[in-house]
Structure 1
Amino acid sequence: MTETFYDVLRRQGISRRSFLKFCSLTAASLGLGPEFAPTMAQALETKPRTPVLWLHGLECTCCSEAFIRSSHPLASDVILSMLSLDYDDTIMAAAGHQAEAIIEEVVTKYKGNYILAVEGNPPLNEDGMYCIIGGKPFLEQLKYAAKDCKAVISWGSCASWGCVQAARPNPTQAVPVHKVIRDKPIIKVPGCPPIPEVMTAVVTYMMTFDKIPELDRQGRPKMFYSQRIHDKCYRRPHFDAGQFVEQWDDDAARKGYCLYKMGCKGPTTYNACSTTRWMGGLSFPIQSGHGCIGCSEDGFWDNGSFYNRLSDIHQFGVEATADKVGGTAVAAIGAAAAAHAAVSAIKRARNKAPANTGENS
């Protein structure tokens, strides 16, 4: 019988109090509210762990590095224990034929009931020979593992969009996972790498509710990709006020002004960086003084220099660029000041005028 998530925790000596705290904090990170914590706890106590095959194609392994560094409580033990991570050639002890036999065993034994997680992407050129796993093209391994899975998670921008491997001129003809696997639900979790807590929260949601989270039209979980980084950025007030960094390390940079003119892609990038942040909520690139490069967006590698500023940013439903918004804000402040001065002058004039006695002079 397959262990439940809670069974694994108890075996590792984790207290029920810590387990319930994990459920509460995870529910909060998913935006579900505290009333869902008991539901999450019950699900993790009773449901058997879901078998997972985690494959690696063309990639740099940064998604795995991010995942295992999630600072969410108990993440290093709990999240990996939540899954029955049967195959991951980066961290597994098995090797060679012994490792590859695990894929066939999971596909056969858990047909229709396992999750396929994919990090990286398949190259199509030369029949996939640009990426060989276990003596076979990764393309072949991917198709075989996906044919009977319940769902696919595309970790990172490589699996979601193609990323640098698919950038022009793309000699290997690398493509994102959804260009090869077309008959399965695919959850895209883009980023280079994705935020660790976003990755673990997506897994937790799927384990708890036995369904995929609500996705946007591009296949990304809405709970983390429904708002632009710009919408919740702490530098946003400076953008609205027309206060921008003009050169690296100028006085405006020291004051923490908006990085839009330095090429920040926050106004066109959908991700949770400005709210969830990195390293346990410590910081994110914009807070560290560098503009967003838009790594979670499709084709970001081919969208020009990371330091070319965006030329057409619409705000508040108004057709205007960022410069016009800033200029309008300054003009509005000037207009408001002028109006205030005019009103004040009228009031002073009225106060000085003699009282009307109602008699004709």
Structure 2
Amino acid sequence: MEHAKLYERLAERLSNLEKFPRIKEEKSIAALMEEHGINRRDFMKWAAGVTAMLSLPSTFTPLMAQAAELTDRLPVIWLHMAECTGCSESLLRTDAPTIDSLIFDHISLEYHETLMVACGWQAEHNLESAIEKYKGKYILMVEGGIPAGSSEFFLTVGPHGQTGQASAKKASESAAAIFAIGSCSSFGGIQAAHPNPTNAQPLSKITNKPVINVPGCPPSEKNIVGNVLHYILFGTLPALDAYNRPKWAYGLRIHDLCERRGHFDAGEFVQEFGDAGAKKGFCLYKVGCKGPYTFNNCSRERFNQHTSWPVQAGHGCIGCSEPGFWDNMGPFEEPLGDRLYHTVYGEGADKTADKVGVALLTVTAVGIAAHAAIAAVKGSGKTEE
């Protein structure tokens, strides 16, 4: 009954949104997909996948498909701060045009420095015009940490010499929804690592408006697109965890759904890269995998059109979707002995968002330590074959 009411509400919202004109009248999402050889069946399979990813019933797939087709009604402004553009690359640099990349690359973006042909004064004018034209209606996506305070001049952009901090503040004021894309924008990232000479800050410390964090270095393209589709469907921001991350994407630890988890439970560990255990796909915990402390859906969604992800490729998770990962998760190829017993007080503990008891989380943390130690003894003979 509740699902039926929700379905009706979302269908009504999409019907109203459909009345808005397309940003680019000359081309629709449907026409664009046909032009790139994406048939209706493939599109519906993609919509079904996104529906499941957002933890919605499969009966909502037609609504998800409709929402994707209506993304050309929703303007997106994407700002670059202090970053490597890796988040944009994650979304756009695929071996073939995906539906995710088509939505952003060709339709929705009103401003994106990397993709724009315009430069200098023309680019600055495009940004100012988009903010004014779509005031209160556009989605703002910000990539990169933001030098702030007395150090904000370290990031100076455009012919007007405007600082990144000033640009982000101005764009945030009139945005309908704000997403910090990648760990740099979400938590400061590598730029904010000790000693943080530019005083790089996350977007949430630059604006007083609500910011949805989509961390990762980089995040998967599905986590980026999924948030846009969620906003189109519901018109509201998603349920969030303690660090303002959408729970549908960051609700589980990497460790929970890792394909190497069975080897962890069996005490079969890689002792050093290239050994017999590595060749057999054993658990990477003892060579530094931070999967037990990292909340993300990499092990389920993967990267490069769902083909692979770092742990599958043979290197442990480095915890890049957690706050302060560069300082707190290193060394990346060694286990975190201190974190084993203090997960509840460290990064990744979701006690604030989910009201999980401290005692329960402490038991879980100690369990990881004890299990790893015992399993290592039991499996020692197996890993030295």
TM-score range, shorter chain: 0.7 to 0.9
Q: 1:272 is aligned with what amino acid?
A: N
Map 1:346-357 onto structure 2 (within 5 A).
Answer: none
Contact 1:260 1:310 in 2 (8 A): no
Between the aligned partners of 2:293 and 2:63, the Cα distance in structure 1 is 36
Between the aligned partners of 2:110 and 2:148, the Cα distance in structure 1 is 27
Deviation at 1:119? 0.4
Gaps of 5+ in 2: 1-19, 344-360, 380-385
Contact 1:112 1:150 in 2 (8 A): yes
Between the aligned partners of 1:205 and 1:254, the Cα distance in structure 2 is 40
| Correspondence for 1:2 among 12, 21, 35 | 21
| Correspondence for 1:309 among 313, 320, 335 | 335
RMSD of aligned Cα (Å):
2.8
Contact 2:100 2:221 in 1 (8 A): no
Between the aligned partners of 1:47 and 1:131, the Cα distance in structure 2 is 31
Residues 82 and 37 of structure 1, relative CA distance in 2, 3 Å threshold: farther
Between the aligned partners of 2:370 and 2:70, the Cα distance in structure 1 is 57
Q: 1:149 is aligned with what amino acid?
A: A
Q: 1:302 is aligned with what amino acid?
A: D
Q: 1:173 is aligned with what amino acid?
A: N
Which residue is equivalent to 2:171?
145
Deviation at 1:58? 0.3
Which residue is equivalent to 2:120?
96
Map 1:114-125 onto structure 2 (within 5 A).
Answer: 114-125=138-149
Contact 1:119 1:158 in 2 (8 A): yes
Between the aligned partners of 2:80 and 2:71, the Cα distance in structure 1 is 27
Gaps of 5+ in 1: 334-361
Which residue is equivalent to 1:38?
62
Larger displacement relative to structure 2 (13-22 or 138-147): 13-22
Give the secondary-structure state (helix, strand or coil) at the position aligned to 2:371.
helix
Bigger Rg, structure 1 or 2: 1
Q: 1:220 is aligned with what amino acid?
A: R
| Correspondence for 1:161 among 166, 187, 200 | 187
Residues 12 and 261 of structure 1, relative CA distance in 2, 3 Å threshold: closer
Contact 2:92 2:101 in 1 (8 A): yes
Is 1:324 matched with 2:350?
no
The C-alpha deviation readout for 1:103-135, integer Å capped at 9, x for no partner, is 222222222111111001210254511011112
Give the secondary-structure state (helix, strand or coil) at the position aligned to 2:28.
helix
Is 1:59 matched with 2:78?
no
Contact 1:158 1:165 in 2 (8 A): yes
Between the aligned partners of 1:319 and 1:154, the Cα distance in structure 2 is 29
Residues 231 and 16 of structure 1, relative CA distance in 2, 3 Å threshold: closer
Deviation at 1:267? 0.5
The C-alpha deviation readout for 1:283-338, integer Å capped at 9, x for no partner, is 211111111111111101112311221221689945635452145569999xxxxx
Contact 1:229 1:270 in 2 (8 A): yes
Q: 2:246 is aligned with what amino acid?
A: P
Task: Kindly indicate which of the two structures has a greater share of residues assigned to helix.
Answer: 2
Residues 245 and 91 of structure 1, relative CA distance in 2, 3 Å threshold: same
Residues 96 and 236 of structure 1, relative CA distance in 2, 3 Å threshold: same
Compute the TM-score of the two structures, normalised by the length of structure 2.
Answer: 0.78
| Correspondence for 1:27 among 30, 34, 51 | 51
Between the aligned partners of 1:270 and 1:91, the Cα distance in structure 2 is 30
Which residue is equivalent to 2:228?
203
The C-alpha deviation readout for 1:214-255, integer Å capped at 9, x for no partner, is 211211111110111011111112212222221222222222
Residues 291 and 127 of structure 1, relative CA distance in 2, 3 Å threshold: closer
What percentage of aligned pairs have identical amino acids?
42
Between the aligned partners of 1:202 and 1:255, the Cα distance in structure 2 is 37
Larger displacement relative to structure 2 (164-173 or 32-41): 32-41
Larger displacement relative to structure 2 (173-182 or 11-20): 11-20
Contact 2:142 2:181 in 1 (8 A): yes
Map 1:175-214 onto structure 2 (within 5 A).
Answer: 175-182=201-208, 184-214=209-239
The number of residue pairs the alignment matches comes to 331
Larger displacement relative to structure 2 (131-140 or 13-22): 13-22
Residues 100 and 236 of structure 1, relative CA distance in 2, 3 Å threshold: same
Give the secondary-structure state (helix, strand or coil) at the position aligned to 2:200.
coil
Which residue is equivalent to 1:109?
133
Compute the TM-score of the two structures, normalised by the length of structure 1.
Answer: 0.83
Between the aligned partners of 2:303 and 2:80, the Cα distance in structure 1 is 24
